[in-house]
Chains A and B, each alone.
Chain A
Amino acid sequence: MAYLYVVESADFLFLRQQTSLTWGNLSSHISKLEEAGYVAVEKEFVERKPRTMLHLTEMGRMAFRSYRQRMAQLFADLPE
């Protein structure tokens, strides 16, 4: 989610390289995020080769912002 939050869109391979997750692990995460409506998956062909582009939906961006705010609040409330 964080990687997709800071970019416009990225393909599956880029996310896999950046996160160092396995194909299976990442595709499982992406499928769940897609089902939740947080990630949009677009399959396209570039020079006859398939490419899967992913981007956060507006709902996904809002959910991630909300998550960050809650985490920030949680850490701020922790005692020293």
Chain B
Amino acid sequence: MSKLINLQEIERKAYLSFFEDGLVDLLMGVWIVGIGLSLESDRTAFIAILPLLWLPVWALLKKLITIPRIGVVNLTESHKKRLFQRKGIFAVLVGVVLFASIVVFMVTQEATPDLQALMSQYVDLFFSFLVALFIFVAGLLTGVNRWLVHAGIVMAVALAGAWLAVALPVHLLVSGGMIAFIGLGILLHFMRNNPLPEETWHERQ
């Protein structure tokens, strides 16, 4: 009784309800598996195309699964502005990392054979580090703490893969599969805890 209503916590809870269905986790895992398969089949262009397919699929699943169960909320303008700023930070980070990767790639082409050999030895870890970094920063910016765990899974599997001398696509398939499996578990839990309502208030009136 001695505590006032914590509005920030209520706002946070309302915002995080967007992510409690596990759809992003599931699609994140599928995306990482897709990267692994693209590298395995030598069709690297798919790595760029996959995120474009990801958004409409996410929106469709959200409409079919989540909204009928937990409803719709529109955030305040100030909250939307804060989210826009965070997305801007994420976009800048993606740009910087991609630019750095291109520079590293170009330097590698001009490097001595010894340096090229050293870099090719660690390219798997570097690639996994990029994927983990994106997931980690997305987790920090959105406040979805379990994505930090997903980033940890990607790095842990990559390190284990390097230690066991397993090729890059294999550990991306493993870590992506694990994250997709976690996402599927969260989705099933969400659907069980939030069954479709039998009637709406609108229908009762």
Contact of B7 among A5, A11, A12, A52 (CB under 8 A): A5
Contact of A12 among B69, B76, B77, B200 (CB under 8 A): B200
B113 within 8 A of A: no
Query: Residues of B contacting A68 with CB < 8 Å?
Result: 4-5
In the complex, chain A residues 1-59 whose Cβ is within 8 Å of any chain B Cβ: 2-3, 5-18, 23, 26-27, 30, 43, 50-53
Contact digits for B55-73, partner A, Cβ 8 Å, 1 yes 0 no: 0000000000000011111
Total A-B residue contacts, Cβ distance less than 8 Å: 87
Query: Residues of A contacting B199 with CB < 8 Å?
Result: 23
Known: A50-B203, A75-B4. A7 touches B72 (CB 8 A): no
Which B residue sits closest to A13, measured CB to CB? B71
A71 within 8 A of B: yes
Task: Quote the shortest CB–CB distance from A51 to chain B (angstroms).
Answer: 7
Q: Pick the interface stretch among B8-16, B38-46, B89-97, B104-112.
A: B8-16
Query: Residues of B contacting A52 with CB < 8 Å?
Result: 200-202
Interface of A is mostly: helix
Contact digits for B1-34, partner A, Cβ 8 Å, 1 yes 0 no: 0101101001101100100000000000000000
Give the docked Cα–Cα distance between A16 and B17 (Å).
Answer: 13
Give the docked Cα–Cα distance between A26 and B79 (Å).
Answer: 26
Query: Residues of B contacting A6 with CB < 8 Å?
Result: 7, 10-11, 14, 76
Known: A2-B5, A18-B13. A10 touches B203 (CB 8 A): no
Query: Residues of B contacting A10 with CB < 8 Å?
Result: 14, 71-74
Query: Residues of A contacting B200 with CB < 8 Å?
Result: 12-13, 50-52
Number of interface residues of A (CB under 8 A): 30
Are B14 and A3 in contact, with the CB atoms below 8 A? yes
B194 within 8 A of A: yes
Task: Quote the shortest CB–CB distance from A27 to chain B (angstroms).
Answer: 5
Task: Quote the shortest CB–CB distance from A58 to chain B (angstroms).
Answer: 14
Are A12 and B10 in contact, with the CB atoms below 8 A? no
Are A13 and B70 in contact, with the CB atoms below 8 A? yes
Give the docked Cα–Cα distance between A40 and B75 (Å).
Answer: 16
Are A12 and B201 in contact, with the CB atoms below 8 A? yes
Give the docked Cα–Cα distance between A16 and B72 (Å).
Answer: 11
Greatest chain A CB density within 10 A among B13, B14, B77, B201 is at B201
Task: Quote the shortest CB–CB distance from A53 to chain B (angstroms).
Answer: 7
Contact of A11 among B2, B17, B72 (CB under 8 A): B72
Which residues of A come within 8 Å of B, CB atoms? 2-3, 5-18, 23, 26-27, 30, 43, 50-53, 68, 71-72, 75, 78
Q: Return 5 A-B CB contacts under 8 Å, by A number.
A: A2-B5, A13-B69, A14-B72, A16-B71, A75-B2
